[in-house]
Amino acid sequence: MPVDDVGNGNSPPDSSQPVPDLDPLFDPKSVAVVGASPDSFYSGNLVENLLGYGFDGTLYPVNPGREEVWDRQCYDDIDDIPETVDLVVVSVPREHVVGVVESAGERGVPVALILTAGFAEADEEGSALESDLGEVANEAGIRVVGPNCIGVMASEGATLTSTCSREPQPGGIGLVSQSGALAFTTFFERAADNDAHFSHIVSTGNEVDLTAADYVAYLAEQDDVDVVCTYIEGVDDPERFLRVAESAVRNGTPVLAVKIGSSELAEAATLSHTGSLTGDDDAWEAAFDQTGVERVPDIPDLLARASAHTAYDDPDGNSVCIASTSGGLASLLADMAAERGFALPEIDGKTERELLDIEELLTYGGFNNPADIRGYGAHVLPEIADAVIDDDAFDAYVFAIGLPGVDKRAETIASDLETIAAEADDPVYVLWTGRKEPDDPTETPPYVRLRESIPVYEDPSRCLDALASTRDFVTAHDHMTDQPSRGSLAADARRAAANINLPRGRVLTWEESEDLLNAYNIPVVESRLATDVDEAAAAADEVGFPVVLKIDSPALPHRTDVGAVRLGVDSVEAARDAYEEVMDAALTAVDADDIEGVLVQPMLDDGVEAIAGIAPDEVFGSLVSVGPGGVLVEALNESATLVPPFSRADAQVAVEKTALASLLRDRRDGPALSVDAIVDLLTRVGDLAAGVDAVAELDLNPIVVTEDGPIAVDALVRTRE
């Protein structure tokens, strides 16, 4: 296989790197802080937090300008430290950072955490320094966090950041954030306010060495991490990120992501802030769907859903029982449950009889789901729970309390709910929408004490989103385990491309395009190439009327723009005339030497038109799209995006997302056509995109889906330089 077509510079970087050993970063036994000074906001506060939040290892301050700090000897240089430390924290002017890291690497220090800013995010000099830093770290064999990093934290290890206002408590959420300020001042603080806690937090900085993907891969393997949360601005090696996220989901660890860049303003802000490209938002949406990553709109939603993954086992199914002290809240939750695809089975039989026997409910006639238990029901929550939780019709429960969370009655409600949740085999979610501020601000309200054992949701949508997140993870996990991994798909695609050799840097002729498509079993319409009027007439007669005549010229990829196409040609004489008309039209735009000839094809008009193709992408390399074709492309403005490589199951989902599937199934002028056939074709287009890096662009428009299957009647292929 020629090197220029497979695995060239346009292909993704190696994405099968081993999981890095980051134990010395998160749980170091010894730490050197270079630039340590009580007068420095960053290094000073970092040391204060490290010592104040339970670090029981050895700290070595390094600062040639001081003899002693924090009651410890201060060393002039890393080489003066009496042992090789697990971690070096670097907080010195940027021009000294490379030298410090080089010395640490030569000393055998495994990891450097660089707080210093002013690198690629700042100016050209900073970019040059960052490049040198990466080279030196690689040569010295030291892993680097940052630069321009606010720090890291492990609740059972070390707190190494200047911006952490309280001691971290043990939790099950791992956070990888490309925003340093958000990591601690927003994610950490907001979570702690709501009794949600992190196992690990890392601010990734400029990622000169260790990347977001490395941290996700590491966290997903930690026993104390129940869910990995990410705040993503841009990823230099998206394929590695997708593969490690996919691997985490396959192995049972949910991955949630806040991914910014859905607006042009966010994209511009990120580019100026970090130098990262956010990437096409539809492409990221597709990439997350394909790898089982759940995209979350904002920080409160991320924390709400992550808390559910740490507190509850995944539900066994989709059926939910909702009991609400408010009829209005019950109705609202019914709509919200339907919007999220939950089933609300009827409360009947033994369960309904037991509820009707509870006198305090004052209910006549029967119960619906959601069940309106009224405010009286808050007094008999254990009896209600005994009835509904024993019912195998339900996989999860939501108790919605529309009452104050701060009064005497709330004490009993909170205690009852804590017991119910602890004793239930299935997840029990609590939504408490009533008053939260007590008269005495020094008192701890009952709902807060409940929150110490299980999440207490205050917003109906976030409560149901959290429950949906745990259900959807089960679906994503099953989807991942039922299909090949991205690595396997990519390897298969490259093997299939082993004998493909394409010319570079131009649009392919029809013959070249046809050979490429045939190699992937992508059906194309029968075509004859004519180079004079006689050949055109004979070809039309052999193909059978009506026919289409179109110019074949790599220099004229959009032939309709100059009128170099004739449709519905229905006789030999008309074919002669059409040949001359097409040639004349083409010669107004290109030279004769740029024309291969005129294509003669049968006219297909009995079917549904679709479109599929490959487009270049600055982040993912290539994207594949599918949707209704022909005049419906602009009329419906609807298509689905996929990030190659992808499985047939992914292709099926993409087709079903568009109107194409219903257009095929619900034809007005004929029998239903095969959706599976267009899914198969799309899968082959994905294999081509993943296997042949030389292809920059492929446009199959239209593809006509007939009773005999789909067939591409036009193809445009452009190759990379």
Assign residue 569 the CATH number of its domain.
3.30.1490.20
CATH classification at residue 439: 3.40.50.261
pLDDT of residue 272: 38
- With respect to residue 122, please indicate whether it lies within any of the assigned structural domains: yes
Domain count, the chain: 4
In this structure, what DSSP letter does residue 590 have? S
Domain boundary among 602, 629, 657: 602
Domain check: are 113 and 190 in the same one? yes
Clarify whether residues 574 and 464 are in a common domain: no
Residue 14 falls within a domain, yes or no? no
Residues 434, 572: one domain?
Answer: no
Residue where a domain terminates, one of 244, 278, 309? 309
| 15 found inside a domain | no
User: pLDDT, tens digit, for every residue of 262-282?
Assistant: 555 444 443 433 334 335 888
CA distances from 347 to 120, 375, 397, 425, 466 (A): 61, 19, 13, 19, 23
The predicted pLDDT at position 670 comes to 86
567 shares its domain with 451:
no
End position of a domain, from candidates 309, 329, 354: 309
Same structural domain, 59 and 163:
yes
475 and 443 within one domain = yes
| Domain containing residue 213 | 23-309
Assess whether 138 and 269 both reside in one domain.
yes
Same domain, 709 and 628: yes
Nearest alpha-carbon partner for 118 in 87, 94, 139? 94
What's the confidence (pLDDT) of residue 605?
Answer: 79
Strand ranges in 536-667 using DSSP code E only, listed in sequence order: 547-552, 565-569, 597-602, 608-617, 621-628, 640-642
How many C-beta atoms surround the C-beta of residue 392 within 10 A? Answer: 10
Please indicate, yes or no, if residue 491 is contained in any of the structural domains.
no
- Side-chain-side CA neighbours of 702 within 13 Å: the count stands at 20
Do 107 and 204 share a domain, yes or no?
Answer: yes
What is the spatial distance between Cα 525 and Cα 111, in angstroms, rounded to a whole number? 59
Q: Clarify whether residues 335 and 287 are in a common domain.
A: no
Low-confidence ranges of the chain (pLDDT < 70): 1-16, 262-279, 364, 631-637
pTM (2 d.p.): 0.92
SS3 (DSSP) at 649: helix
- Sheet strand arrangement including 528-530: 528-530, 597-602, 547-552, 565-569
What are the distances in angstroms from CA 627 to CA 341, 622, 650, 678, 706?
Answer: 25, 17, 14, 10, 16
AA identity, residue 559: R
Asked whether 706 and 606 are in contact (CB, 8 A), the reply is yes
pLDDT at 11: 40
Task: Look at residue 361 in the predicted model and tell me its pLDDT.
Answer: 85
What is the C-alpha to C-alpha distance for residues 84 and 78, in angstroms, rounded to an integer? 9
Q: Tell me, what's the pLDDT at 410?
A: 95
pLDDT score at 264: 55
Q: Are residues 86 and 122 in the same domain?
A: yes
Distance CA 657, CA 664 (A): 13
CATH of the domain at 34: 3.40.50.720
Q: Could you tell me if residue 485 is inside a domain? A: no
Contact 436, 472 (CB under 8 A): no
pLDDT at res. 572:
97
Instruction: Mark whether 330 and 289 lie in a shared domain.
Output: no
